[in-house]
Amino acid sequence: MVLKITNLTVKDVRFPTSLQQHGSDAMHTDPDYSAAYVVLETDRGLKGYGLTFTVGKGTEIVVCAVEALAAFIVGKSLEEIVGDFRGFYRLLTSDGQMRWIGPEKGVIHLATAAVLNAVWDLWARVEGKDPKQIVSCIDFRYITDALTEEEALEILMKAQEGKQQRVDQMLKEGYPAYTTSCAWLGYSDQQLQQLCTDALNSGWTRFKVKVGADLEDDKRRCRLIRQMIGPDNVLMIDANQRWDVAEAISWVSSLAEFKPLWIEEPTSPDDILGHAAISKALAPLGIGVASGEQCHNRVMFKQFLQASALQFVQIDSCRLGSVNENLAVLLMAHKFQVPVCPHAGGVGLCELVQHLILFDYISVSAKLSNRMCEYVDHLHEHFINPVVIRDAHYMPPKDPGYSCEMLDSSVQMHQYPEGEVWKLLFAKK
């Protein structure tokens, strides 16, 4: 069936999460979880849905960037796109004029992710993919010194062994998750304790705490959570890029008594050698370094891996160039033997990234050791096929697509600034 893409629409959808301090951390103190929400329409009535995540202000800029990319996709058939997906990816990311405002980074790359996420959603509703098709989607330019196309195919072919057993395992048990929802930086101690108690009663064993604003406050909050979850459950800490390198080493060393598995985003997300220095300094304390949610592209991930700067790779379904670029990172991480623990703190990110991490286990790494996927318990009710968590595990989605189609009513209510939710909030000011 030939599907011609006849239209692309994009909307600025924002949720006022800052009112309850959901998502608050040391650098983003008042986030309103938001999305540039894309719908691809076809001549056969089938639609593809995609989004990229933002935290409020600036979403309108991403919307403009998506609209600028629309000319590259409207009028093409799905078969034309996926028949040379690598070429189409490069068309979006390497246009002779458009790439000047990137290349492959920033607002234009967020927009690329939204458009390509919608393409993958549409393609997933139509057909499955074999290893050769998957490799053909990846742009290997700039990363062949770390991973070649031949190596990528070899990894995928090798993982075919035992694949069905892993599929069956995931359908039965799900993929292990950790929660960030208990300890946003803006939460009171009382709220933190209640959420932590509820999470423990629901079977959660892995917890992440936001840190970085005040050392003594971090010690108090980490002590509180460690006492609540006990010595055997897993604790991670996340500074959201707050510190300089030396400050990060000193600050995290002061929190070592609470036995965190990792420190996440200890410094600038662009500072590869800084992350390497922090990793080396914290290794004797048994604390790893995790990062990636604001890593621009596959080239930066390549360098992070080559420099041994990360002990945990955190892919993001909307920061990189959709599935295409995330595939490259999953395969490189496997080659360098660094576990992937995706970022999913934002609207729609859990719905999207569950597909990537399930693919990683089933078709790439075949490993679960030191691997888990982030989960935040916010805004899932706005999706047609919300993520399903059972016993602190992601249960595989059963409907075709990329799981990011939103309810029409939610889009209308939260569209910025004309949605009813925002009209009411503006009226109160």
Q: Give me the active site residues, please.
A: 210, 343
In 3D space, the residue among 296, 299, 360 whose CA is nearest the CA of residue 331 turns out to be 360
Amino acid symbol at 38 = V
State the residue for tokens 């009209």: 423
Q: Which residues pair with 383 in a beta bridge?
A: 406
Contact predicate 323/296, CB 8 Å = no
Say which DSSP state 32 is in.
-
- Contact, 291 vs 301, CB < 8 A? no
Residue type, position 84, single letter: D
**Using CA atoms, how far apart are residues 137 and 114, in angstroms rounded to an integer?**
16
Contacts of 395 (CB under 8 A, 6+ apart): 174, 388, 389
Strands 260-264 and 373-375: unpaired
Please state, in angstroms and rounded to a whole number, the distance separating the CA atoms of residues 377 and 155.
34
Please, which residues have CB within 8 angstroms of residue 20's CB and are 6 or more apart in sequence? Answer: none
C-alpha pair distances (Å), 254 with each of 45, 224, 260: 58, 15, 11
CA distance 356 to 325: 11
Contact 209, 221 (CB under 8 A): yes
Distances (CA, A) of 7 to 70, 74, 268: 8, 6, 38
Q: Can you name the residues that pair with 7 across neighbouring β-strands?
A: 41
First and final CA of the chain: distance in angstroms? 52
Pairing of strands 260-264, 288-291: parallel
Residue with tokens 């609207």: 347
Q: Which amino acid is at 301?
A: F
